[in-house]
A and B are shown apart, each in its own frame.
Chain A
């Protein structure tokens, strides 16, 4: 039994149904990455897993309990989330923002323990922002800022950490930087990570477990080496491509077919269709 799973969930915003009877298990100690085309429901699934969205049917289980029925702070000590949109308050320092990740461990009479202080220092060291502790968050670059938010989520000290598109808006160097950091957290600290990523190649390189979604359904899941094939990419993304071995890591590397080849294919399809009719 894995710690986090969604069982037969129907996910909807008001009347708009995103997914029906969707079941996903997050393997313990995995770095799970959810991929899929725009509007396939991957962020929605992440919101459901982090109890941000209540399934209209089915249930999300955390440690065998329905997540909605658990005390909010208890969930927050087990499961962290780095959302896509977060606002740094005006005039807040890095250390102060990271410190806010300690909220679920605190109370009215236990506002700032020595333990809180130690964890905040450690989280900043792990994300490489210790020197920035006294700087204002508004002065930082996009990549640094993302590290600060990750540090805040780390300070929450949750065995499970969910990240919604952590690399969006970052340049390539900082994307790799953030993904390396995630891999480190997964390998060295044994945390279970679940991330939504747009870049299929990043997903294939970093994930230990890949979930491919389309139209609210799981099309395939498993280790990237086993499931990423040209047929799968075409089925999920509607893109013709070759899948070759990544020369650096040996993981699958998706190379989209050239424009001309794709145009030819479409043309051929059309000819075939005419012949049939």
Chain B
């Protein structure tokens, strides 16, 4: 057949004489590189944005250590950590969302819908309202809240293998309980605490400094390689537990490792920036539509999350005149519109 001569769609293989081989999908690779470039470029623009604007060229020069003292202070001490937190939070949410959606085989099986954000918020509110805690304590509270919620969902929905809709329904239930707790805590709070709580709940990068960068960076350095090492098994799991089992994937182990990683990533991101809504839901879907490749598209989702969050942060600072918005408002609007679009088109395709 002539079709064998045609350039094949999808992945190509690179081989070395020693018998090593890697498989790459050229289109996915280009998408990943482009998204990474967009994320970094948006970061540079964002560093230059503010009451004291700095041109992009100067930002880059300063980042490489050739700026003047004033610029150096603004860039390295004030704005760089904020942008890095934004990139790391976006990347963690994008990757965490992709993992959740791939393991549950359901685009709605993402941390936003499952109530991880609400759970982390409950943890943070407990610290803010009941203990008037410091920023560090609020972060710890959010982290613990997210992890507890993750464990709860696992126990309720996951013990006998995951079933997409069951997971989503359990998640919605957990989310409702957490929302009720949050509402209760807010009504108990005095005026100052309540205002602080509301800002936290919207998700914002304001006032983030190096203290938030390091834990996120360390976590990402540990978890991203771990997750990618299990990505091939996850690709097989798309075809159902039985097939992946038959192919020699240790389904239960892969699922557990990836879910724990996803919960950690999401909880840490939420603890650092508040429950920035919808990045975890939308980034993997957008990435998938760009790469047009089956599979979990983990790296593309990661880059997409980072690009989305930093762009949204820039938009929240610039597009609305003088009044800055928390980044969560922008991602919420974008994500909500995207979700509606997703539901409408899936309906047309007869899937939901």
Contacts and interface: CB of A to CB of B under 8 A. Distances in A.
B136 to A, nearest CB: 38
Given A112-B23, A113-B19, A134-B3, A75 B11 contact: no
B247 A117 contact: no
A86 interface: yes
A52 B240 contact: no
Nearest to A110: B21
A216 to B, nearest CB: 21
Contact of A91 (B6, B20, B248, B293): B293
Interface residues of A, number: 46
Nearest to A14: B160
B232 interface: yes
Nearest to B238: A89
Contacts of B15: 112-114
Contacts of A96: 10-11, 294
A52 B294 contact: no
Contacts of A121: 4
Nearest to A111: B23
B13 A86 contact: no
B30 interface: no
Contacts of B19: 110, 113
Contacts of B10: 93, 95-96
Interface stretch (A3-11, A77-85, A228-236): A77-85
Nearest to A103: B247
Contacts of A97: 239
B105 interface: yes
Given A134-B3, A134-B9, A87 B20 contact: no
B323 interface: no
Given A72-B248, A96-B294, A108-B232, A86 B240 contact: yes
**Chain B interface, DSSP helix/strand/loop, else mixed:** loop
A27 interface: no
A204 to B, nearest CB: 27
A72 B21 contact: no
Interface residues of B, number: 35
Interface in A100-120: 100-101, 103-104, 106, 108-114, 117
B22 A52 contact: no
A109 B239 CA distance: 23
Contact of B294 (A89, A130, A131): A89
B262 to A, nearest CB: 19
Contacts of A248: none
Nearest to B246: A81
A153 B239 CA distance: 13
B1 A130 contact: yes
Contact of B22 (A76, A89, A112): A112
30 contacts: A50-B245, A72-B249, A72-B250, A80-B246, A81-B245, A83-B243, A83-B246, A86-B240, A86-B243, A87-B240, A88-B239, A89-B238, A91-B294, A93-B10, A96-B10, A96-B11, A96-B294, A97-B239, A100-B236, A103-B247, A108-B229, A108-B232, A109-B21, A111-B22, A111-B232, A113-B15, A113-B21, A117-B13, A131-B1, A133-B4
Interface of A: 50-52, 72-77, 80-93, 95-97, 100-101, 103-104, 106, 108-114, 117, 121, 130-131, 133-134, 153, 156
- The 3 tightest CB contacts between A and B, nearest first, are A76-B248, A83-B242, A81-B246
